[in-house]
């Protein structure tokens, strides 16, 4: 049997998480009981526990299952009352009916040992069923735990991941690269889809993840407050169906937006969609126009599509906030370049940069005679007569040009191009920037043929995208956030 951690971890006093209304225990609990842990690899109670261990969580782990002696090398207990050491957090993976019994047991335990601070209820079968019985069950669960000041995440969720503490209750994600994106979601599957989508090319890194399902107790707003104080979180992505306390949420969100960007995917926009949210998380999705207006007021960027949500978060994670809204586009492909220019033209927040005479002359002197410099403003099409070193030289000129606040590039490495070399030249141009860095977003087309170029750019910390029109939308979103900050007098992030 595997040895448990020798010493009970002492909470560090300077840890800001511990000061956050006790919610820190959800992300880095000193110890955790898993009710419904299992030796059966086909059960969520098995993989959740396996993933917890594989992420490197260092606290004590106490599986609870009356029919097992040990699970994955950890001693098993019949119930939470039997655990002879302090229990900070409890993960609930049993049926909705049994959940209430365990909740009462946790209250009993807390009265005896003064330990349990939080519970994550992953089980479904509560308000989302939309029967009065199930709704009552959820209210009862909250009532029982609240009486003992035990906070609850869920029910009907995938729980939590924290890539720093290694704490992880997610069935499907065994581990994840650390990074600057944090996610709050009412749909575990939606958020997991993002994590898996980005995984192959390591397109994102994660700080914290909270799937909070029906949000019966711990709210989006409270978790936003926690993420505001989390230095590792550069940007917050939210999947939202409906809020019980919109006023609280938007007040907090406004404060968070002054410090770091929030990107939201809000569903239940339509009548049928709001029926779907009601039966998914019991959420009342509200009037969409009111949400839309509140998002704007709070500086929250609302994505129009799933891919825009995915891609906007990536841009914020890896690139700085622009100083202004003037954009230029570099490409060697007239069609994709035109698509990007067209999309930029639909976004009121964006403006095409006007090159100075100096910049135009400098560009023309190094580009092929048939290259297009400045038609329209802010546009450079190198045509097929491009080569790796030219990208470096052109980008250096664009980064130096005063009228340019952010640079977009659309790239497709044809068979004549050394993909690693072109990625190096582009990265070198970005690194050569002095003073305030300008955001740089690159759409690499040519799919799997272009993987080396994409990987090279991603490894250099440069986010890559796939579609030239999405590049414009992402640019519009990061500029929209920059303009919000300017308008509200938030501290300049340059």
Are the C-beta atoms of residues 116 and 89 closer than 8 Å to each other? yes
Instruction: Find the shortest distance in angstroms from Cβ 119 to a copy of itself.
Output: 19
Q: How many CB atoms sit inside 10 A of residue 125's CB?
A: 17
By CB under 8 A, which span of 29-37, 137-145, 270-278, 432-440 interacts with a copy of itself?
A: 270-278
* Residue 172: partners with Cβ closer than 8 Å, 6 or more residues away: 47, 51, 158, 192, 196
CA atoms within 13 A on the CB side of 379: 22
Contacting residue, 36, 159, 456, 468, with a copy of itself by CB under 8 A: 468
Instruction: Find the shortest distance in angstroms from Cβ 132 to a copy of itself.
Output: 15
Question: Which 345-364 positions form the footprint of a copy of itself (CB under 8 A)?
Answer: 345-346, 352
Contacting residue, 30, 280, 302, 326, with a copy of itself by CB under 8 A: 280
By CB under 8 A, which span of 60-68, 112-120, 376-384, 433-441 interacts with a copy of itself?
A: 376-384
Question: Which 288-327 positions form the footprint of a copy of itself (CB under 8 A)?
Answer: 305-307
Instruction: Find the shortest distance in angstroms from Cβ 56 to a copy of itself.
Output: 19
Site track for a copy of itself across 326-345, x = CB under 8 A: ------xxxxxxxx-xx-xx
Instruction: Find the shortest distance in angstroms from Cβ 450 to a copy of itself.
Output: 7
Site track for a copy of itself across 380-419, x = CB under 8 A: -x-xx---------------------------x-xxx---
Site track for a copy of itself across 45-84, x = CB under 8 A: --x-------------------------------------
**Residue-wise burial string across 391-404, b where 16 or more C-beta atoms lie within 10 A, e elsewhere:** bbbbbbbbbbbebb
By CB under 8 A, which span of 66-74, 107-115, 275-283, 401-409 interacts with a copy of itself?
A: 275-283
**172 is a site residue for a copy of itself (CB under 8 A):** yes
Helices (H), 114-245: 132-147, 188-199, 220-228
Instruction: Find the shortest distance in angstroms from Cβ 352 to a copy of itself.
Output: 6
**448 is a site residue for a copy of itself (CB under 8 A):** yes
Q: How many residues bind a copy of itself (CB under 8 A)?
A: 83
Q: Which of 43/400 has CB closer to a copy of itself?
A: 43
Contacting residue, 85, 199, 251, 358, with a copy of itself by CB under 8 A: 199
Query: Alpha-carbon Rg of the chain, whole angstroms?
Result: 25
Enter the DSSP assignment of 242.
-
Instruction: Find the shortest distance in angstroms from Cβ 254 to a copy of itself.
Output: 25
Which has the closest alpha carbon to 94: 84, 105, 83, 85?
105
Give the SS3 label for residue 422. Answer: helix
**27 is a site residue for a copy of itself (CB under 8 A):** no
Instruction: Find the shortest distance in angstroms from Cβ 10 to a copy of itself.
Output: 34
Contacting residue, 20, 168, 192, 233, with a copy of itself by CB under 8 A: 192
- Helix %, strand %, coil % for the chain, to 5? 40, 15, 40
By CB under 8 A, which span of 52-60, 139-147, 260-268, 433-441 interacts with a copy of itself?
A: 260-268
Q: Which of 171/355 has CB closer to a copy of itself?
A: 171
Q: Which of 61/157 has CB closer to a copy of itself?
A: 157
Query: What CA–CA distance (Å, rounded) separates 293 from 280?
Result: 25
**379 is a site residue for a copy of itself (CB under 8 A):** yes
Contacting residue, 57, 239, 295, 484, with a copy of itself by CB under 8 A: 239
**284 is a site residue for a copy of itself (CB under 8 A):** no
Are the C-beta atoms of residues 213 and 260 closer than 8 Å to each other? no
Query: What CA–CA distance (Å, rounded) separates 223 from 30?
Result: 19
* Residue 273: partners with Cβ closer than 8 Å, 6 or more residues away: 267, 285
Cis peptide before 376 (omega within 30 of 0): yes
**129 is a site residue for a copy of itself (CB under 8 A):** yes
Give the SS3 label for residue 1. Answer: coil
**452 is a site residue for a copy of itself (CB under 8 A):** no
Are the C-beta atoms of residues 380 and 411 closer than 8 Å to each other? no
* Residue 10: partners with Cβ closer than 8 Å, 6 or more residues away: none
Contacting residue, 147, 189, 287, 290, with a copy of itself by CB under 8 A: 189
Q: Angle, to 10 degrees, between the axis of helix 468-488 and the axis of helix 306-318?
A: 60
**Residue-wise burial string across 8-27, b where 16 or more C-beta atoms lie within 10 A, e elsewhere:** eeeeeeeeebbebebbbbbb
Q: Which of 256/350 has CB closer to a copy of itself?
A: 350
Instruction: Find the shortest distance in angstroms from Cβ 64 to a copy of itself.
Output: 21
Query: What CA–CA distance (Å, rounded) separates 88 from 383?
Result: 61
């Amino acid at each position: 049997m595997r040895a448990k951690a020798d010493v009970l971890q002492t909470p560090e006093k300077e840890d800001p998480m511990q000061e956050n209304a006790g919610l820190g225990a959800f992300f880095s609990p000193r110890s955790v009981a898993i009710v419904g842990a299992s030796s059966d690899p086909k059960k969520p109670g098995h993989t959740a526990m396996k993933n917890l261990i594989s992420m490197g969580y260092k606290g004590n782990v106490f599986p609870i299952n009356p029919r097992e002696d040990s699970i994955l090398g950890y001693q098993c207990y019949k119930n939470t009352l039997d655990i002879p050491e302090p229990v900070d957090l409890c993960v609930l993976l049993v049926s909705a009916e049994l959940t209430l019994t365990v909740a009462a047991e946790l209250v009993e335990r807390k009265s005896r040992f003064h330990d349990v601070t939080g519970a994550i209820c992953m089980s479904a079968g509560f308000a989302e069923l939309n029967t009065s019985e199930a709704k009552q069950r959820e209210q009862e669960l909250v009532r029982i735990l609240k009486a003992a000041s035990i906070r609850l995440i869920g029910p009907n969720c995938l729980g939590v991941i924290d890539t720093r503490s290694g704490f992880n209750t997610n069935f499907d994600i065994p581990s994840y690269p650390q990074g600057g994106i944090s996610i709050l979601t009412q749909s575990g599957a939606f958020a997991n889809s993002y994590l898996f989508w980005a995984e192959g090319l390591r397109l994102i890194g994660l700080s914290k993840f909270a799937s909070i399902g029906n949000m019966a107790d711990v709210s989006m707003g409270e978790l936003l407050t926690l993420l505001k104080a989390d230095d590792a979180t550069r940007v917050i992505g939210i999947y939202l169906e409906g809020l019980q306390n919109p006023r609280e949420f938007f007040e907090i969100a406004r404060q968070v937006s002054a410090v770091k960007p929030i990107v939201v995917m809000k569903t239940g926009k339509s009548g049928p969609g709001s029926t779907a949210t009601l039966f998914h998380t019991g959420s009342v999705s509200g009037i969409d126009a009111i949400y839309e207006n509140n998002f704007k007021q709070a500086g929250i960027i609302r994505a129009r599509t799933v891919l825009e949500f995915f891609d906007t978060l990536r841009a914020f994670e890896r690139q700085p906030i622009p100083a202004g809204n003037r954009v230029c586009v570099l490409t060697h492909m007239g069609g994709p370049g035109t698509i990007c220019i067209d999309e930029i033209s639909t976004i009121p927040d964006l403006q095409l940069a006007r090159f100075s005479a100096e910049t135009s002359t400098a560009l023309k002197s190094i580009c092929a005679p048939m290259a297009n410099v400045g038609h329209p403003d802010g546009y450079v099409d190198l045509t097929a007569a491009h080569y790796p070193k030219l990208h470096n030289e052109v980008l250096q000129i664009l980064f130096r040009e005063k009228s340019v606040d952010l640079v977009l590039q659309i790239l497709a490495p044809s068979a004549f191009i050394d993909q690693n070399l072109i990625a190096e030249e582009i990265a070198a141009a970005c690194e050569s920037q002095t003073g305030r860095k300008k955001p740089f977003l690159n759409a690499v087309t040519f799919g799997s043929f272009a993987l080396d170029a994409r990987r090279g750019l991603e490894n250099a910390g440069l986010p890559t995208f796939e579609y030239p029109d999405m590049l414009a939308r992402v640019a519009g979103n990061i500029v929209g956030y920059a303009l919000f900050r300017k308008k509200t007098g938030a501290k300049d992030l340059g």
